[in-house]
Chains A and B, each alone.
Chain A
Amino acid sequence: MLDLEVVPERSLGNEQWEFALGMPFSQAISILQKHCRVIKNVQVLYSEQTPLSHDLILNLTQDGIKLLFDATNQRLKVRMAHLAQISNSHCIHFNSQAITPTIEQIDQSFGATHPGVYNAAEQLFHLNFRGLSFSFQLDSWNEAPKYEVRMDRFPSIPHGAMVKRMHIYTGNNLQETKAPVMPLACFMGNIFAEGVDVLRDGAGPLGLKLRLLTAGSGLGVMADAKVRYVERSIFFGDSCQDVLGTLGSPHKVFYKSEDKMKIHSPSPHKQVPSKCNDYFFNYFTLGVDILFDSTTHLVKKFVLHTNFPGHYNFNIYHRCDFKIPLVIKKEGADSQTEDCILTTYSKWDQIQELLGHPMEKPVVLHRSSSANNTNPFGSTFCFGLQRMIFEVMQNNHIASVTLYGAPRTTSQARPESSASSH
């Protein structure tokens, strides 16, 4: 039995949890997981082939609630509830238990608004408030045509009409709504990245410039209710303490086990097992992994995750909204360079057009977690170009980008670290 309070343009929830607009996908998942005994049968709906064309939807089938997440930034955009279905099992704050919300109750609770809009195709009346809209189903009355031709041109909704569904969103228009910025309550002391720029020179990537934002500490009293933006940069060859000071401590540290890819190393020493193992700093909320060398404790690699649904690691990382500037040298006119930017949403065939087709065959990554279950998403393919490795999913989207530094003995230009200045 869910007892939820509606705050237009903001949230839906109770005193224990709330789905706030702008909330990241993983946070909503985590709320649902914590209440797995109450909320069951949740569907995750996404488009496999074109994941950006459709919102990512969490469908709480038993509760008639649907959470729509923006396909690009994966933050909560629209929340809708089927009140016809939940009226028996749900209480919204304005109706007591087991009473279906009607037009009168809505009037009472939310006050007056513009007249309703009738949608003939859906046979629904929409009553819009700012950040909140109700839909009334009229086909039970079979009166819809009548309302359309009324003289006052502003059909009123018949008394006793039952709310079929309710939308909560930001702004005035449901169709144009966007996910708002992340609410303060969702930070909880975590650091998020608004964007990650890959710094690079002609030969390859050098480091990352992250636009970080954070707010509050999650301890309630402490929360200085202000979002802070800051730009920080990290580079290959930075020390552990450099990274810790720049990005804060990672969520997890993962020690690599035996490096299976070492078999491909061109170095003749590849068969000598290294004594120590490299380790990853997992920054889940940034969508970034940083690999450190075991002996020198310096940054060796960055892995940027796109968190597309349909990938094995979906919902582990937040989406890293990266931009990789490319300098394309046109072969005909040698002086002409073209600036292109690769983003999280670029597709592999576009990348190939820009970077050229990799000469080598790809590496196939099957991910299978144990004997009992297989990876249902199929394998992914890794292509290496210009010291970047693109993991490409079946739908041509990039699953992750691994950036590795130049072999440590080559020359590389490294701009002065701007990490310290902010």
Chain B
Amino acid sequence: MKLAQLLALPATLISAVLAIPEYSEHLHLRPLPNGYLYAGFNFTASTSLSAYESQHFRYFPRSLGQILQHSDTRELHLRFALGRWDDESWGSRPRDGKREGGTGVEIWSWLDSGGGKPAVEERWSSLVNSLSGLFCASLNFIDGTKTTRPVLSFEPEGTHRGGGNGMELLHGTLPHEVVCTENLTPFLKLLPCKGKAGISSLLDGHKVFDANWQTMSIDVRPICGLGGDCRLEIQQTVDIVLDIKRSMRPRNDPIPRPRPVEELECDESKSYHASDTCYPKRKEGEMAWSLSKIFGTPVRGSCHVADGDESHDISLEVSPDRAVEVSHGGSNDTLASHEQNQLVRTMRLPDSARQHTDISLPQHIFQDSPHQNRPTLYASRQITGCGQERGGMHTVLHNPHTHQQRIVYLESLPWFLRPYMHTLKVLTHPTNSHDRPTIPLKPDQMYYTPALDRKRGTHLELLLTIPAQSTVELTYDFDKAILRYTEYPPDANRGFDVAPAIIRVLPSTHNTHNTSTAGNEIGQDSYFRTTSLLLPLPTPDFSMPYNVIILTSTVIALGFGSIFNLLVRRFVLAEEVPRSAVAVRVAGVLGKVRGVVGSLKGRLRGGGQGRGGGGVAVGVNGVAAEGDGGMNGVSSVVESRKER
């Protein structure tokens, strides 16, 4: 059974006429290749629309409900994400990428469009500001420059009155935001069991944010049953990929240290293997792990509430021949799949609030590497070019399948990145033959909203058809704007984050190939996000204004001073300059000092003469010299007077 199908299971249940449980929670575990573990938490609560409108909350969180009512929000999607999903080795994304966000924070929601554009903007601003307070995130920085109105990329998930008329989609991203524990704590507070019981007790900030990839999502949507009774559903998910080995390192010694030589596992088949050289052995299979070792705690109790879900809490997707041990409190048990050779095993936590549950798996060596679903698409995006003035965007989309795919490519760029749409090129070539010339590809549809400086960012949406087994390259050039002095953040030299591109793969209409590829054959669209980009902008020297002030002032003062002096000064002969009183006084004092020094010198000399015969000659010399000096002095005075 495929992961995607499994996760679609609750959705199929919902569409059935069965009564919707007011609360349910699930944890799905799946080991990934190279020693990683995927853990997907899903918490779903719902309330009847009438109770929501009269503000009687039970499992639906009151704090969020009031925000949604206050801002007339019809449907909300909020994402906090960190890290990168490794397509190449981990395969397709969980939940078709629908509960995934771009790095940082991403929010999109359908708001009541009554009252025109200013009213919608008012509601949007009220929504992001309130959510910012609720989730301790900088969502309040989502202003007009970070908001776009995508046309093709998103569709409402809920059932709306009037078929979705009278509401407007707004989308905002904060790629710079670092998601951390302070966002997880309010997230857990929204749950009925608040991380104290049930699977949510595994969610600890230290582990969640130590993951290689994690994404938290909150989705609120109305669902209407066949009978016309409508409910408002909130789905909260946390998806993480943990490095098993890293997570299992002991708590008391969290710092990674080099292992002693004896404990290293070396590949001895290498020719250069010696006592001092070691090529690390390739990991075979998977090391033994248990929930309590990976998450630091076993599952504490269960969160089985009245009118809640009665089905399983935890599901585990491992190969059928693997032994899985479950311990409830003290008793151990093995967990077997219900049917022979089924990949997924499910279990329900005991009702007792006190009992701890742990799942442990022994070490396992794969006979053949576990099959991973191929992702629908591979995508990567880079900034090209050098220098501080211009750059280019380069996106590579690669379709590994044997059928063509229609995708929507959405970019929302900050205003200081100014793209030139005439340079937009979409080229395609078959993946495995680089020698063949690239063929231009015409986008089926294109939506483009140009940026306005400091008011609006660029919004670019392309509807593309990617031919089978081929690669599409999308490029365009852009200019980097120069910001105002006060617009730079404190760490301006780090660069500016550019939000990830969002790629929506539309369900293929002609399903000619009944291949085993995941995603499309279900008939639902899936989403991808590229990594966020770092855009270096020209940054000024921030002491510049003061330097400029000082330099200009000096230049102005120089010019002004010389011209002014030239105009008002009187030019006379050097001799005619009247001696100022101060100068006369200083000269008098100097003369006195000179006289005193001279007399002192004379006295010193006199004392020296009285000594022995040798002294005479010296004395004579000294006198002569003094006489000379005196003469010189007189003559220089005369000269200086002449000069005057």
A associates with B:
no
Binding site for B on A (CB under 8 A): none
